[in-house]
Amino acid sequence: MSTARPSAPPSVRDIARTLEEAGHETWAVGGAVRDVLMGRSSGDWDLATSARPRQVRRLFRRTVPIGIEHGTVGVLAKDGTLYEVTTFRRDVETDGRHAVVAFADKIEEDLARRDFTINAIAWHPLREVLFDPFGGIADLEARTLRTVGDPDERFREDHLRILRALRFAGLFGFEIDVATWDALRARVGELRALSAERIRDELLKVLDADPAPARSLELYAASGALEMLYPELWALTSRPGIDDEPPRAVATATSADGGDGGAGRPSAWAVSVAAVEALPRGRPLLRLAALVRALAPKDVAAMLIRLRFSNAQVDETARRAEATPVPRADAAEGAFRRWLSVSGPARLPALARLDLARAKAERRLGLGDDVDAVVASWRRAKAVKASRPPLDVGALELDGRGLIQLGLRPGPHFGRILAALLEWVLDDPSRNRRDLLAERALELAREEAGCG
């Protein structure tokens, strides 16, 4: 891989020029520099400077105190883009979760505290020179992920770097340096000290931005991070990929290309990872549902709650994961109406994509070839949904007030009667008429009274 030449946006050069003319050394640093050198499109440009936060705020008219205590000021450029400008820093004390930092005067000190060599390259946007004291460019060329300095020390300082290493190696298709990998695996047990939010966010970054997240997910398994942080998912590595087959005692699997789930068969983990790969990036929660779909519903909910997902995210992801597949295309319309009623018609696009991703995964792994059948089922479900059948009790032409008007006394049996009416209408939507529902409701009420 040949590295490209950086070219900072005009706003970045303007900010750097203002700081430099005031006597403050300023460099572009971080992911933007790395990405441009790799020929990738770059998003956020960050600047590191010898100026202290108060000096930065005096030099620019529009600023935001993003993290003053850590030396970061947001500078709003003329084009409306917000750029982070951070004072050079050095670590004073770290405990694996938090770092006490002090301001520094030289870019060398700032780069020395960074995680990986590929992230410790600075670019001067005015002089157009690169500063690469730790060999990051050579590692980019060699497609190698290596820590800055001693790897054990880097992972001891910040345990999150373990997960960042797995994410970067997967995203860029890099090999992890042997010493870095050994240190990473030796300290994987310390991941438990991280907050649930940081663990969750790293997984979501893998599922969100990586077009092919299988490699990062495989590295989670191979490093021990999966077993440590996601025991529910780790259990899938020793389960066969077809749920109706009996589980066998097998070696763990980490490859989405056919991890051995028993007697040479791909594991449930391998199928789940392949299903994730079949879904587009930018849909992290949909990919998450594919990843956890082979789990028991209680395990899905427990894992998501542990990771501090919002109640709405837990509910929606769990519902997607536990939903039954769309009925086969040749099923009766009533089966589709019942499926839509239980799953929720609004979830049809997401659930169909999950079914299709699973079918593609199984075809890729030699477990089946139902892709065309899933597409046919999806089309049939869309057609049934488009006919706008009543799918919940709120769509019935008779409600609780109507039951009272029939002379029935309110009580818990109202819910049972309305649920039974819905089942009756799902069989034949033409029954959703007030007169027919009233007659059927009275029959059900008499049956209820007889049972009582």
pLDDT tens digits for range 380-390: 999 999 999 99
Residue predicted with more confidence, 248 or 101: 101
- Confidence tier at 369 by pLDDT (50, 70, 90): confident
Q: What is the pLDDT of residue 250?
A: 25
Phi, psi at 301, each rounded to 5°: -60, -45
In the chain, DSSP finds a helix count (H) and a strand count (E) of: 22, 13
Burial of 79 (C-beta count, 10 Å sphere; 0-12/13-18/19+): exposed
The residue-averaged pLDDT of 229-255 equals: 64
| 42 to 32, 35, 36, 37: CA distances (angstroms) | 5, 6, 6, 10
Chain CA centroid to CA 206, Å = 6
| 108 to 13, 39, 80, 90, 414: CA distances (angstroms) | 21, 25, 31, 10, 74
Rounded Cα gap, residues 429 and 387, in angstroms: 10
Q: What is the pLDDT of residue 241?
A: 77
Q: Assess whether pLDDT exceeds 50 at residue 145.
A: yes
The residue-averaged pLDDT of 436-446 equals: 96
Q: Assess whether pLDDT exceeds 90 at residue 141.
A: yes
- In this structure, of 46-50, 172-176, 261-265, 445-449, the range with the lowest mean pLDDT score is 261-265
Q: Which two tokens stand for residue 280?
A: 């587009």
Q: Assess whether pLDDT exceeds 70 at residue 248.
A: no
Backbone torsion region of residue 151, taken as left when φ is above 0, otherwise alpha when ψ lies between -120 and 50, otherwise beta: alpha
The residue-averaged pLDDT of 63-82 equals: 90
The residue-averaged pLDDT of 407-426 equals: 95
Task: Give 102's strand partners.
Answer: 90
Q: What is the pLDDT of residue 240?
A: 87
Q: What is the pLDDT of residue 265?
A: 80
The residue-averaged pLDDT of 299-311 equals: 97
- In this structure, of 19-33, 138-152, 229-243, 282-296, the range with the lowest mean pLDDT score is 229-243
Q: What is the mean pLDDT of the chain?
A: 91
Q: Assess whether pLDDT exceeds 50 at residue 247.
A: no
Segments of 10-56 assigned E as strands: 26-29, 46-49
Rounded Cα gap, residues 243 and 324, in angstroms: 13
Phi, psi at 227, each rounded to 5°: -65, -35
Q: What is the pLDDT of residue 258?
A: 44
Of 28, 49, 8, whose CA–CA distance to 132 is shortest?
28
122-124 and 129-131 strand pairing: antiparallel
Of 296, 274, 295, whose CA–CA distance to 215 is shortest?
274
Q: Assess whether pLDDT exceeds 60 at residue 214.
A: yes
Q: What is the pLDDT of residue 257?
A: 43
Q: What is the pLDDT of residue 50?
A: 97
The residue-averaged pLDDT of 422-432 equals: 97
Q: What is the pLDDT of residue 69?
A: 81
| 331 to 284, 327, 328, 338, 389: CA distances (angstroms) | 32, 6, 6, 11, 17
The residue-averaged pLDDT of 221-231 equals: 97
Which CATH number is 10-142's, of 3.40.50.970, 3.30.1540.10, 3.40.50.1370, 3.30.460.10? 3.30.460.10
**Of all residues in the chain, what percent carry a pLDDT higher than 70?**
91
Q: Assess whether pLDDT exceeds 80 at residue 195.
A: yes
The residues, any chain, with a CB within 8 Å of residue 146's CB and separated by 6 or more, are: 116, 117, 118, 135, 139, 176, 177, 179, 180
- In this structure, of 81-90, 149-158, 257-266, 286-295, the range with the lowest mean pLDDT score is 257-266
Of 147, 149, 201, 140, whose CA–CA distance to 173 is shortest?
140
Q: What is the pLDDT of residue 256?
A: 40
Residue predicted with more confidence, 92 or 3: 92
pLDDT tens digits for range 84-118: 999 999 876 565 566 667 889 999 999 999 999 99
The residues, any chain, with a CB within 8 Å of residue 33's CB and separated by 6 or more, are: 6, 121, 122, 123
- Confidence tier at 356 by pLDDT (50, 70, 90): very high
Tell me which CATH code domain 144-322 carries: 1.10.3090.10
Residue predicted with more confidence, 7 or 290: 290
Q: What is the pLDDT of residue 8?
A: 83
Rounded Cα gap, residues 85 and 16, in angstroms: 9
- Confidence tier at 2 by pLDDT (50, 70, 90): very low
The residue-averaged pLDDT of 282-293 equals: 97
The residue-averaged pLDDT of 18-24 equals: 97
Q: What is the pLDDT of residue 67?
A: 83
Q: Assess whether pLDDT exceeds 60 at residue 245.
A: no
Rounded Cα gap, residues 125 and 17, in angstroms: 9
- Confidence tier at 246 by pLDDT (50, 70, 90): very low
Rounded Cα gap, residues 81 and 98, in angstroms: 29
Q: What is the pLDDT of residue 31?
A: 92
CA dihedral (165, 198, 36, 152) positive or negative: negative
pLDDT tens digits for range 314-346: 999 999 999 999 999 999 999 999 999 999 999
In this structure, what DSSP letter does residue 395 have?
G
Task: Give 96's strand partners.
Answer: 158
The answer to whether 96 touches 83, Cβ cutoff 8 Å, is no
